[in-house]
Amino acid sequence: MAGHAGSQDSKTRPGQRRMAQWTRDYARLPGIPDEYIGQDGAPRPAWARFFDAFAALSPADIERRFASADRHLREAGVTYRAPGETADRLWPLSHLPLIIDETDWRQLTTGIAQRAQLLEMILRDLYGEGRLVADGSVPAAAIAGSNEYLRAVCGVKPPGGRYLHLYAADVGRGPDGRWWVLSDRTQAPSGAGYALENRLVLSRAFSNLYKSMNVERVAPFFEAFRDALRASADRDEPRIGLLTPGAFNETYFEHATIARYLGFLLVEGDDLAVSGDRIHIRTVAGLKRLDVLLRRVDSNFLDPLELDASSHLGVPGLIDVLRKSGVVVANMPGSGVLEARALLGFLPNLCRRLLSEDLLMPHIATWWCGQKSAREEVLSRLDDFAIEGAYGRAVPGFPGSGPVLAGELSPPERERLRSAISDRGIDFVGQELVRLSTTPTWENGRITPRPFVLRVFAAATPNGWTILPGGFCRIADQPDARAVSMGDGARAADVWVVSDKPIAASTLLPAADTVRIRRIAGVVPSRAADNLFWLGRYLERAEATLRLIRALGTPTRDSGKGAPSGASTALHSVERIQRLLVTWGATSQASRANSAKVAAEALQSAEKFGSALSLLRSAQRTATSLRERLSPDAWQVITEMVERLSVEADDDDGIVSAAELSLQELASFAGLAQENMNRAAGWRFLEMGRRAERAINTARFARQFAYDEAGDEDLDVLLTLVDCQITYRSRYLVGPALAPVRDLAVLDPYNPRSVAFQVAALNEHIASLPSLKEHGLIERPQRLAVALQAMLTTAEAAALDVKALFALEQDLLNLADAIGLHYFPHGPNASRPEKLTGLA
Amino acid sequence: MIYDIRHVTTYSYESPVSFARCSLRLEPRSGDGQQLVSHSVEIRPKPAERTIRRDFFGTHTESVLIETAHRSLRIDSRSRVQVARQALARTAPSPSWESVRDVAFEASSLGPASPVGYVFASSLVPVLGPVTAYAAASFPQGQGILVSAIDLMHRIRHEFKYDPKATVISTPLREVFEKRHGVCQDFAHVMIAGLRGLGLPAAYVSGYLRTYPPAGQPRLQGADATHAWVSVWCGSEIGWIGFDPTNDLLVENDHIILAVGRDFSDVSPVDGIIVGSRKQKLAVAVDVVPVE
């Protein structure tokens, strides 16, 4: 296959030389088709065009662009979680796209659209009239064996008029050069959001190359999907929620991406409630009707009342709402039954019967052993098949979740497999072993063929099925591509559907496939508000801790003078700072004597729950559940702070400078929130959390350092902690005096760090929030805030003794609790639904 | 035989419950040799909403919504049922168990009476290798299904210990099987798991059992509880037959069927979700009194 790239210029132009070199080294796997090099040994035209342009970039430029793509992924926090792991993994992106020629793609899309329509028709019959089973077109056992066959929705007409709204198929190119279906995804297909991210990253990193390739854009597909979901609802401006299992799900990042991109509310089961014949979302303004639920929760977990009783991910009563046609659920619960491999072999006949057409796309030849003839076929040449579970991923009775290859089993295990198939053939299918095509990947400066699986997405629209031009491609690092899941060394790749003509001008506009961020729906779910409130509190508490650490490490004006000028029994200021850090759980008693040790622990200890690192980690955890509401920049700031503090500082200077850098970043987060955060997205709750926490901390600082006998040094520390050294000095020519310092820290309404300023801000926020009760009486949070503000407005600094400051602190804590109880009904004190127990 | 059945379920909560959504499956079914004469359910506190439907299995299911705060929930169900079953002789001829299995696999209905719905694992009854192997000892090659299933029932009755304190509703089948003890629900689940492991259709039946008083003593009121047993599909000719592994009995006129499903989770008489108390106490009292 060498030499085909040779033209008269190949010896002179470095790009073509590089390309010739790559091509010569590109060793196709024997007997396996390849995407780049065709059956005839020549590169396919679309790929040749890509590599022509790609090779024109210098090696250094290529590496720089790859690095920029990786950086973008890291900064945007694109992550996934492998099943069974607790930590997020960074998204491994293959740097070369999978390139598919437009003509080839059209064939694939026709096949996918036909298949989607066929599956929709089968679902209608299975959960409706049941003619296909009655006349033997589909064996009853092939359906009954799937735990996605939901008896609870038999006979329920799907609200919105259809079962499948989003369908996906895993495909690969077979030895005959055609695209083959490996499996169907009808439950809640994942990957479309990652496809979107991959496109964003690669089209930015190679913007000119991307533009020159005439790549079809993916944005119109998502818009069509969103519009179709809107149209499925029974009112004009429907509210659409994306139901996620929560931040611990392996594809949570994707749920947040899709929700943010399409303007859906990201909701968990706890956010929803059945009321009347409808589903409602709990918001800070009370229950709001939800019209459409795009679910990423499997059917069986959707309703603990009628389905899996142990589920905490669903909504009790959801199935009953479906019976009353009160909500559109996409896809309709029970749609997953068609993912069973047992059905594959029956599809060609079903297609002729239901659509009067031949099935366009072949799938891997599959024998369901529930039928005698198929079972005998499989048993007669057991080694020629991959044995798979007929319904789920696992093969019943055998470990792991992949296929079982009889040829690789020990003789007794092989015999066990054989008798299992003889006894309960209904549980097994035999699938033909096929090798799928490979695609180029970039490894160490050269291109290497690797097998891949492509997930193609189809959305149901009023005008038929729309296919995402591109998809989610997973590239394996092992020869059998069917085993590709993101868990094991696999990488993802962007998929470019390219045309040799420029694509229509209207869709060509942006160089990169930019994401148009939509306005988030104007309701704030209580859980999101709760998380925002706590995010604000964690960040503010971290800031206070960092300020204490900095004060500990920075000599004050009067340090070295020994004991404070007040009573001799009073503690030294440094000891007071240490004592505060101890009561906050930032450090332990043992290291109280050594300031440097205290500072290091309070800054970086992973064990102390009150350390700056722990607080920022709590903030990060909380922010994880708010991904769809925070800008990528804001997320990045939090991640960077956590990363910095996770690396141990070298010395005392390192500690102080790490604290200072973190304080700067906290300020930049506050700026981002102030300037970039949509006011409708719950910004007020982030602000309220921050204000409440700052008020509490400042009151506590005032009590600790502006106590009745406080000396200069103490007052100086307080001025530093509340950032008022300059203000104080510009107002008062004398050194720090008790009453003026107290006034500045607690009562001054113009000082953005005073308690009074925070309380005024809280009042303003509370007044702007919707009232939940209709009785016209003032609600508790407002009552407390207004009273506090009146008190702070009229108080005199001289009268603010330790006792008064302590009372103020308690009032502020009560106010924070009252806000929580009032707006976040599932706060820690609220009761959750519980299952009735007992054998009755 | 006509029975009057009273089935009272009482939940007591430590703190007030503000909301409850329940499913009740308390109306005995008609058919399978019994006829429902009358039925009523009284619920305290009074529900805001009561809706009735038949579920997939044909069970009369009542959805109840309670929105008043309460510290106790009392569900009082009264039924009168006439039972007239023709018992099958233990020695009656029956098709080989393998042929029953093969016919079940090829069924062409997904309906509630189709055997194919009862040959797969269900949420509380996994198919486990050791349980299948245990059951296989009662099923020598080519033996009739009736005599084989009777032998399995007999072995469970004699090799498992009846112990109401040993298990709770959530005790997994694996543990019940390893420790060889449990109550009627556990024995039914073990027998079902064994049969399904062999590919045989087995359903879970909830219901009531008339208990005879010991000689010379008056019948103890309220001593009874809800009962559970197994229904086995014995081929198209014989159909579904009831086996009570707790008592080593074929089901006849002492059993009153409440509901049939794949396992307990399909037929749970009272089920629901509450908002409120963490701690709750449950008391169930059942009386099954022959009227004539």
Report which of A743, A771, A767 is spatially closest to residue A757, judged by C-alpha positions.
A743
CA distance A769 to A752: 22
Chain B residue with minimum CA distance to A833: B275
Burial of A172 (0-12, 13-18, 19+ CB in 10 A): buried
Give the residue-averaged pLDDT of A301-316.
89
CA distance A595 to A552: 7
Half-sphere exposure at residue A209, Cβ-oriented, CA atoms within 13 angstroms: 24
- The distance of B216 to chain A (nearest Cα, Å) reads 30
Is it the case that residue A566 has pLDDT exceeding 60?
no
Across the interface, whether the CB atoms of B226 and A840 are under 8 A apart is answered yes
Is it the case that residue A291 has pLDDT exceeding 90?
yes
pLDDT band at B60 (very low <50, low <70, confident <90, very high): very high
Tell me what pLDDT residue A6 has. Answer: 42
Tell me what pLDDT residue A827 has. Answer: 44
SS3 A278: strand
pLDDT band at A82 (very low <50, low <70, confident <90, very high): low
- Max mean pLDDT range (A230-234, A389-393, B134-138): B134-138
Q: Which tens digit of pLDDT belongs to each residue from A634-683?
A: 888 998 999 889 888 878 788 889 999 999 999 999 988 888 777 776 88
The one-letter code for the residue type at A494 is D
Chain B residues with CB under 8 Å of A308 CB are 123
Is it the case that residue A838 has pLDDT exceeding 80?
no
Across the interface, whether the CB atoms of A832 and B275 are under 8 A apart is answered yes
Q: How many CB atoms lie within 10 A of CB A407?
A: 12
pLDDT band at A839 (very low <50, low <70, confident <90, very high): very low
CA distance B80 to B288: 10
CA distance B58 to B37: 17
Cβ of B136 under 8 Å from any chain A Cβ?
no
Chain A residue with minimum CA distance to B277: A831
Nearest CB neighbour to B9, from listed A141, A154, A840: A840
CA distance A58 to A169: 38
Tell me what pLDDT residue A195 has. Answer: 93
Chain B residues with CB under 8 Å of A831 CB are 275-278
Q: What percent of chain A has pLDDT over 70?
A: 88
Reported for A412-419, long-range contacts at CB under 8 A and 24+ positions apart, including other chains, are A414/A382, A417/A382, A417/A387, A418/A379, A418/A382
Cβ of B48 under 8 Å from any chain A Cβ?
no
- The distance of A416 to chain B (nearest Cα, Å) reads 11
Across the interface, whether the CB atoms of A141 and B119 are under 8 A apart is answered yes
Q: Which tens digit of pLDDT belongs to each residue from B34-52?
A: 999 999 999 999 999 999 9
Residue pairs spanning A and B at CB distance below 8 A: 119
Cβ of B163 under 8 Å from any chain A Cβ?
no
- The distance of A300 to chain B (nearest Cα, Å) reads 10
Task: Select the more confidently predicted residue: B72 or B224.
Answer: B72
Distance of CA A528 to the CA centre of its chain: 14
CA distance A314 to A312: 6
Q: Which tens digit of pLDDT belongs to each residue from B233-270?
A: 999 999 999 999 999 989 988 899 999 999 999 999 99
Cβ of B169 under 8 Å from any chain A Cβ?
yes
Is it the case that residue B82 has pLDDT exceeding 90?
yes
pLDDT band at A22 (very low <50, low <70, confident <90, very high): confident
pLDDT band at B130 (very low <50, low <70, confident <90, very high): very high
Tell me what pLDDT residue A607 has. Answer: 87
Nearest CB neighbour to A133, from listed B110, B270, B280: B110
Distance of CA A298 to the CA centre of its chain: 17
Tell me what pLDDT residue A779 has. Answer: 85
Tell me what pLDDT residue A93 has. Answer: 86
| Per-residue CA distances from A733 to A368, A726, A727, A753, A767 (Å) | 91, 11, 11, 21, 39
Write the DSSP symbol of residue A572: P
SS3 A485: coil
Give the residue-averaged pLDDT of A721-731.
88
Report which of A313, A286, A289, A278 is spatially closest to residue A299, judged by C-alpha positions.
A313
Chain B residues with CB under 8 Å of A280 CB are none
Alpha helix segments (H runs only) across A177-315: 192-205, 207-212, 219-232, 252-262
Chain B 58-77, residues with CB within 8 Å of chain A CB atoms: 63
Task: Find the farthest-apart pair of alpha carbons in chain A and give their distance in angstroms, rounded.
Answer: 101
Across the interface, whether the CB atoms of A141 and B269 are under 8 A apart is answered no
Give the residue-averaged pLDDT of A265-271.
90
Nearest CB neighbour to B56, from listed A145, A154, A323: A154
Q: Which tens digit of pLDDT belongs to each residue from A23-43?
A: 778 878 888 889 999 888 888
pLDDT band at A512 (very low <50, low <70, confident <90, very high): very low
The least confident of A53-67, A102-116, A547-561, B247-261 is: A547-561
Strand A98-101 to strand A495-498: parallel, antiparallel, or no bridges (unpaired)?
Answer: parallel
Tell me what pLDDT residue A81 has. Answer: 66
Q: Which tens digit of pLDDT belongs to each residue from A371-394?
A: 999 999 999 999 989 999 999 888
Write the DSSP symbol of residue B60: E
Task: Select the more confidently predicted residue: A521 or B112.
Answer: B112
Nearest CB neighbour to B274, from listed A152, A274, A833: A833
Q: Which tens digit of pLDDT belongs to each residue from B62-80?
A: 999 998 889 999 999 999 9
The least confident of A189-198, A431-440, A822-831 is: A822-831
Cβ of B271 under 8 Å from any chain A Cβ?
yes
Is it the case that residue A777 has pLDDT exceeding 90?
no
pLDDT band at A836 (very low <50, low <70, confident <90, very high): low
Tell me what pLDDT residue B264 has. Answer: 94
Is it the case that residue A748 has pLDDT exceeding 70?
yes
The least confident of A422-436, A460-474, A768-782, B140-154 is: A768-782
**Whole-number average pLDDT of chain B:** 91
Q: Which tens digit of pLDDT belongs to each residue from A616-630?
A: 999 998 888 888 788
Burial of B85 (0-12, 13-18, 19+ CB in 10 A): middle
Helices first, then strands: H and E counts in chain B: 6, 15
Burial of A464 (0-12, 13-18, 19+ CB in 10 A): exposed
Is it the case that residue B289 has pLDDT exceeding 60?
yes
CA distance A558 to A712: 8
Q: How many CB atoms lie within 10 A of CB B169?
A: 15
- The distance of B166 to chain A (nearest Cα, Å) reads 14
CA distance A350 to A355: 8
Across the interface, whether the CB atoms of A834 and B275 are under 8 A apart is answered yes
CA distance A169 to A827: 41
Give the residue-averaged pLDDT of A396-417.
88
- Residues sharing a CB contact under 8 Å with residue B25, sequence separation 6 or more, in sequence order: B55, B59, B60, B61, B62, B206, B258, B259, B267, B268, B269, B270, B271
CA distance A169 to A183: 6
Contact assessment for residue B223 and residue B211, using Cβ atoms and an 8 Å cutoff: yes
Task: Select the more confidently predicted residue: B170 or A562.
Answer: B170
Is it the case that residue A520 has pLDDT exceeding 70?
no
Strand A328-330 to strand A292-295: parallel, antiparallel, or no bridges (unpaired)?
Answer: parallel
Is it the case that residue B222 has pLDDT exceeding 80?
no
Spatial strand order in the sheet of B255-261: B249-250, B240-244, B227-233, B202-209, B255-261
CA distance A833 to A823: 18
Is it the case that residue A505 has pLDDT exceeding 80?
no
SS3 A641: helix
- Residues sharing a CB contact under 8 Å with residue A797, sequence separation 6 or more, in sequence order: A739, A740, A742, A743, A746, A747
Across the interface, whether the CB atoms of A840 and B108 are under 8 A apart is answered no
Chain B residue with minimum CA distance to A303: B273
- Residues sharing a CB contact under 8 Å with residue A366, sequence separation 6 or more, in sequence order: A341, A344, A345, A429, A430, A431, A432
Report which of B132, B136, B133, B107 is spatially closest to residue B121, judged by C-alpha positions.
B132
Is it the case that residue A558 has pLDDT exceeding 50?
no
Distance of CA B211 to the CA centre of its chain: 16
Report which of B21, B6, B83 is spatially closest to residue B272, judged by C-alpha positions.
B21
Q: Where are the beta strands (DSSP E) in chain B?
A: 2-17, 19-24, 34-44, 49-54, 60-66, 70-83, 161-162, 181-182, 202-209, 227-233, 240-244, 249-250, 255-261, 270-275, 280-290
Taking the alpha carbons at both ends of chain A, their separation in whole angstroms is 75
**Whole-number average pLDDT of chain A:** 86
Tell me what pLDDT residue A766 has. Answer: 92
Q: How many CB atoms lie within 10 A of CB A503?
A: 17
Q: Which residues of A211-243 are buried (b: 16+ CB within 10 A; e: fewer)?
A: eebbbbbbbebbebbbebbbebbeeeebbbbbb
Q: How many CB atoms lie within 10 A of CB A206?
A: 26
Tell me what pLDDT residue B44 has. Answer: 94
Chain A residue with minimum CA distance to B67: A275
Q: What percent of chain B has pLDDT over 90?
A: 73
